[in-house]
């Protein structure tokens, strides 16, 4: 019977990436992947920062993504809820080639699965197997986390995020756009699918009832609403996919490790998508755990609780800080009083006029 160092529960992007990262450290890994069920069209598009891309490059995944599956973001424009209130970021001003990459979620998952097939230290199993360490990457609804008695501290926003694929009659030129419209937040992520140079990934955070209404509405009505919300900034937008939604919340596990187990990704923390950092946090978890296990003393097993606390300490501050930033921004732009509205929109203009502060903010996002 084969013995394993690590058993991974969850076979999404974080779980698959973890399997490859730990195998690179010489660990024997089992990853649980139940028989595939029929899947609806996956319209998700993720924003990946430089650190996440570097990890995927090191694991020999990034270079093999198909054409059009990853699009560089060269500039970003964030608009407040008052005329002229805007904040602009530029890769050129930051001294980097791109601010981020927008990647097709389904294409990334497929490529990770392909690379796993040729990794001799990884075994794909259809049920959990015993191991020194159980790595839980099951997402926000993790059943195993609950079985371990971990408290899931969740604050629902009363919002739903809508995602879809759009095409436009105007080239996106690698510009990501975001509107804080109180109470909703609308983001257009430049993309090359289904049309190269003229597509966007939509992420629109709305009050639950309004989001449900748009998911049930005819496509022409949703297109009209999107074009009214964005004006002519992104050209004439048309839907090219189904529109899907998921509930939004700020959530955090009260502990992320114990003797023989560890939480990663959405099983450990969930943030609002307005900063596009959810998957980046999960991949940073992967990198941190791989580094801790790779540097462990020879006599420590992977499931040693003191060892895993090193991972917990390394990830505590970054994940907490990102949760606070996204939560604070969301609540700031949800306040409808005139003085607060004026203050926040002036704040956008002030930050935009201070290049050193913009560079600092961008650097934090590139390496979150």
Name the more confident of 277 and 352. Answer: 277
Query: Residues 194, 197, 199, 200: what is their CA dihedral angle, to the nearest 10 degrees?
Result: 130
Q: What is the DSSP string of 63-113?
A: GGSPTTSEEEE-EEEEE-SSTT-EEEEEHHHHTSS-SEEEEEHHHHHHHHH
Among the listed residues 223, 229, 271, 236, the one whose alpha carbon sits nearest the alpha carbon of residue 250 = 271
In a domain, 126, yes or no: yes
- DSSP 8-state secondary structure symbol assigned to residue 275: G
Which CATH number is 44's domain given?
3.50.50.60
Global pTM value: 0.92
Confidence tier at 21 by pLDDT (50, 70, 90): very high
Domain contains 286: yes
Separation between Cα atoms, residue 45 and residue 49, nearest integer Å: 13
Residue 362 lies in a domain: no
Q: Label residue 198 by pLDDT band (50, 70, 90).
A: very high
What is residue 7's three-state secondary structure? strand
State which residues form the domain around 11: 4-70+101-154+248-335
Examine residue 183 and say whether the peptide bond preceding it is cis (omega within 30 degrees of 0).
Answer: yes
Q: Give domain status of residue 56, yes or no.
A: yes
Taking residues 156-185, what's their average pLDDT?
A: 94
Sheet containing 70-73: which strands, arranged edge to edge? 45-48, 100-104, 70-73
User: Whole-angstrom Cα distance, residue 81 to residue 266?
Assistant: 30
Calculate the alpha carbon distances from 325 to 129, 262, 274, 278, 332 in Å: 38, 25, 10, 13, 10
Distance of CA 190 to the CA centre of its chain: 16
In the prediction, which pLDDT does 53 show? Answer: 97
**Of 60-64, 77-81, 203-207, 212-216, which range is least confident?**
77-81
Contact 250, 270 (CB under 8 A): yes
Identify the pLDDT of residue 129: 95
Q: Is residue 64 part of a domain?
A: yes
Q: What is the mean pLDDT of the chain?
A: 90
Q: Is residue 53 part of a domain?
A: yes
How far apart CA 135 and CA 19 sit, in angstroms, is 10
Which whole number is the average pLDDT over 341-354?
A: 62
pLDDT beyond 60 at 358: no
**Maximum mean pLDDT: which of 80-89, 103-112, 316-325:** 103-112
Confidence (pLDDT) at 329: 80
Classified as helix, coil or strand, 156 is strand
In a domain, 88, yes or no: no
- In tens, the pLDDT along 281-337 reads 999 999 999 999 999 999 999 999 999 999 999 999 999 999 988 888 887 777 666
User: DSSP assignment, residue 324?
Assistant: H
Q: Average pLDDT, stretch 328-357?
A: 66
- Range from 170-174, 175-179, 335-339, 350-354 carrying the lowest mean pLDDT: 350-354
> What's the longest Cα–Cα distance across the chain?
68
Cβ atoms of 252 and 271 closer than 8 Å: no
The pLDDT assigned to 35 comes to 74
Q: Which residue has the higher pLDDT, 364 or 245?
A: 245
How many domains is the chain built from? 1
Expressed in angstroms, the distance from the first to the final Cα of the chain is 40
DSSP 342: H
Whole-number Å distance between alpha carbons of 127 and 65: 29
Asked, for residue 78, whether it belongs to a domain, the answer is: no
């Amino acid at each position: 019977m084969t013995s394993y160092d690590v058993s991974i529960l969850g076979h999404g992007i974080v779980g698959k990436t973890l399997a490859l990262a730990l195998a690179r450290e010489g660990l024997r890994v089992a990853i649980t992947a139940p028989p595939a069920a029929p899947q609806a069209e996956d319209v998700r598009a993720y924003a990946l920062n430089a650190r996440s891309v570097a990890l995927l490059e090191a694991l020999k995944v990034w270079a093999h993504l198909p054409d059009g599956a990853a699009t560089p973001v060269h500039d970003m424009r964030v608009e407040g809820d008052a005329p002229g209130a805007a904040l602009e970021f530029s890769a050129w001003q930051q001294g980097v080639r791109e601010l981020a990459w927008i990647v097709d979620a389904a294409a990334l998952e497929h490529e990770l699965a392909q690379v796993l097939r040729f990794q001799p230290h990884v075994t794909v199993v259809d049920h959990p197997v015993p191991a020194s360490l159980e790595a839980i990457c099951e997402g926000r609804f993790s059943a195993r986390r609950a079985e371990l008695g971990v408290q899931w501290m969740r604050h629902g926003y009363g919002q739903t995020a809508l995602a879809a694929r759009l095409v436009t009659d105007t080239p996106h030129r690698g510009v990501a756009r975001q509107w804080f419209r109180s109470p909703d937040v609308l983001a257009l992520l430049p993309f090359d699918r289904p049309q190269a140079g003229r597509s966007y990934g939509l992420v629109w955070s709305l009050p639950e009832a309004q989001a449900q209404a748009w998911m049930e509405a005819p496509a022409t009505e949703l297109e009209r609403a999107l074009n009214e919300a964005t004006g002519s900034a992104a050209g004439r937008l048309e839907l090219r996919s189904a529109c899907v939604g998921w509930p939004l919340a700020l959530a955090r596990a009260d502990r992320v490790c114990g003797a023989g187990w560890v939480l990663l990704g959405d099983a450990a923390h969930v943030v609002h998508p307005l900063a596009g950092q959810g998957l980046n946090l999960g991949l940073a978890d992967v990198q941190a755990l791989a580094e801790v296990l790779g540097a462990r003393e020879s006599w420590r097993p992977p499931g040693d609780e003191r060892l895993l606390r090193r991972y917990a300490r390394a990830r505590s501050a970054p994940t907490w800080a990102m949760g606070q930033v996204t939560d604070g921004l969301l609540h700031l732009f949800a306040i409808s009083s005139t003085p607060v509205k004026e203050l926040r929109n002036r704040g956008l203009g002030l930050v935009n006029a201070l290049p050193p502060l913009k560079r600092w903010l961008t650097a934090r996002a590139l390496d979150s």
